[in-house]
Structure 1
């Protein structure tokens, strides 16, 4: 499509290589009270995209993303995990260089591409426009719109001036759209005409909540690129495999489908960031703040959250050479913070990658020993509320230090879609259902 250009691999080398794998006390108190009684309705996160950065000029496939927005409209396509008839939209300017303003925001149901139907206004404090201060997030007023789980929504934002650069989630694994500069407000337009640009990043939009019966609880899948659903297209991981876009084949997506089929009232949302590390921040690149630094905003502040499943550490071993002892101390801190907020927390074993170039033979040839030490601790510790053995689900029986070939991307670090399905199948349903109300 027009404006969709391939960025050179060499030009994005540093950013792509890394992409492999102050909440107030009042808000923390609210998060701790996020497990209400079983009667009535409450807000639950239905879709989440953790903000990653504002500086990297490409998406994960290497295509350029707009860095300057000028009197034009963004139409971001997001796929909720729980349906309903009332929603709220979260927008983020977490990494913006200045305040950002939107003249109008709307949401509708995507029909195909950039086309949408049933478009309704989204207000903020009963106003159609909103200004988000630098470094802040906002949540909309309740919006009346009936939508189904896994039926994509189109969130449109009109930029009434010149803004740069947008806060985004770098690897959406989904296609969103934008109109040409100086074309004005297309946020209420149903057809796809004029939305000539497309991107594999989510710009500004960071969450969708749904009003749902109180017995429904939220579970956050928290981690790095393996939670984010990255599928590598080359031995160096980058660019991402564009063929997986819009398939919703990430392990949290497949886990949601399993829970739905079993009738378990849980909304699984994805707080994965490619290249993220538990202990070390990657700002200003797209790997985002460390897991410890972003945990409050990306987990504890989510509406209706009752539990968190943590899969993180492979990048700490591969990129920062962190020790097993350092990572175990980091996990222990997450456990303490989750329990203090009234949440359950489950740890996942780190998946194998000894034959991968990234986080393996090239960058971390000796990390397998630390990975085994960490996984042994995860399986035997009693601090968390349980564990999920993703290592056992994905490893090659003939060589437990590598991914089973049928589950591996060509980079031998990230699972393919079959691998993500195997991860979802490995999560014990009764582990997660312990956060729901008795039936």
Structure 2
């Protein structure tokens, strides 16, 4: 049963708050080691945050920011659209100021089912609370916050709109650069429109994900999360020109990333597995982002804990990362990449996760990872893939390379699967990647029948 917050009855509102607080306490009690008959939280959607944007870049994205320390009032509402991979009736949200240099206050937050564009279904609007009933919360620099449980009924792949009113602009906004989904913003100074059901106030559209880094759903005990961990290929980027500029038509709001297709495979066979996406465009396994490109995020080794291990209900992780290490001048060595993989596998195994290591896709005819790679990336990629196929550190290998390479030239993508930049797959390529995953090798939850853990 879904309990609504929108009511004119004060007594009903109090009852809802009491019920939600009780649910929160129960979920917290079960979060550590739930029994096999208990519902528990599992991550249902994620968008790994990257270094916060500010200044001219933030203004170009339509986000209000203020000079450091001024706390200028801006009164802007962000309406972030997320598409969960599993349906449910109770969620909790993770909001991030992980890369902010000063506190940010989330003054008022709501969640609702998306109707069309920035409009939402009126009967679905729910108030989001913090710390057992508070309307707002302040996230310290470098921190994330988690909301109280929120009652809202929704289906798998049904978009939800998270509206965040920020009355004072931070100096920079933590978020995910390429969401491959359309979100919305009011103009700065327009005030609190977090409860609006119409779209009129949200005049600006963006594919950047502001503040929201994860959504959890309360699910049966046999449900587990598989995290796809990687770079722009996991993130679902499709290049529209030789330099990799994003392709919009046919990709944004279509849910055609390889983790989306993998989710559909699990759904088809009825496995209680949720696939979340921890890809970041431009991300590297061994190196943090250059200061000139903050949107590329910390290295995979550095962000493994926050972006994978800390997700709720995780049992398995699929790692596809390293092409940017060898393709971004000056490329790192084979030995450095192997050390990075070993570090990741050790981190994940120490956390009790099963690790499935993916081979790197070919890209020798691309501009950025072919002609401009220094030293040439292809010989290093071939050597890395040979190591991945022969090593016994990971629990399994996903041979993405074999699934998508050209049969006549193993150094390039099959033309059926390549986007215009010859580096990123097209949607058909992402579907082929999902098909390359041996789902039987993914353990799932310890309560699942036949689970390997």
Normalised by the length of structure 2, the TM-score is 0.86
CA distance in 1, matches of 2:308, 2:204: 32
- The correspondence for 2:44, drawn from 39, 43, 46, is 46
Find out whether 1:424 has 2:434 as its counterpart: yes
Give the distance between the partners of 1:241 and 1:279, measured in 2 at CA.
Answer: 30
**Unpaired segments of 5 or more residues in structure 1?**
1-29
- After TM superposition, give the deviation of residue 293 of structure 1 in Å: 0.5
2:148 to 116, 141, 158: 141
Aligned to 2:325: 316
Show CA shifts across 1:353-412 (max 9, x none).
Answer: 000001111224621111111111111111110010000111000101000011001100
The residue number in structure 2 matching 1:207 is 214
Task: Name the structure 2 match of 1:100.
Answer: 104
Following superposition, the deviation at residue 324 of structure 1 comes to 1.4
**Displacement of 1:242 after TM fit?**
4.9
Correspondence list, 1:21-36, <5 A: 36=34
Matches within 5 A, 1:30-429: 36-55=34-53, 64-68=61-65, 70-117=74-121, 118-125=124-131, 126-284=133-291, 285-319=294-328, 320-364=330-374, 366-429=376-439
Does the 8 Å contact 2:62/2:185 carry over to 1?
no
Cα contact 2:176–2:209 (8 A) shared by 1: yes
Paired residues of 2:315 and 2:443 also in contact (CA < 8 A): no
Local SS of the residue matching 2:449: coil
C-alpha offsets along residues 207-259 of structure 1, whole Å, 9 cap, x if unaligned?
10000001100111000000000011110112444541101100001100111
Alignment-derived partner of residue 7 in structure 1 = none
Structure 2 stretches of 5 or more lacking a match?
Answer: 1-27, 67-73
User: Of the two structures, which has the highest relative contact order with CA contacts closer than 8 Å and spacing of 6 or more?
Assistant: 1
CA distance in 1, matches of 2:443, 2:145: 30
**Partner-residue secondary structure (3-state), 1:282:** coil
Asked if the contact 2:223–2:445 (Cα under 8 Å) also holds between the matched residues in 1, the reply is no
Shift of 1:342: 0.7
Give the Cα separation in 2 of the matches to 1:281 and 1:197: 31
Aligned equivalents of 1:321 and 1:368: distance in 2?
Answer: 11
Aligned partners of 2:276 and 2:309: how far apart in 1? Answer: 12
Match of 1:10 in 2: none
Cα deviation, residue 55, structure 1: 2.4
Q: Work out the number of aligned pairs and report it.
A: 406
**Do the aligned partners of 2:418 and 2:424 also contact (CA within 8 Å) in 1?**
yes
Post-superposition CA distance 1:298-332 (Å, at most 9, x none): 00100001111000000000114111111111111
Kept in 1, the 8 Å contact 2:331–2:375? The answer is no
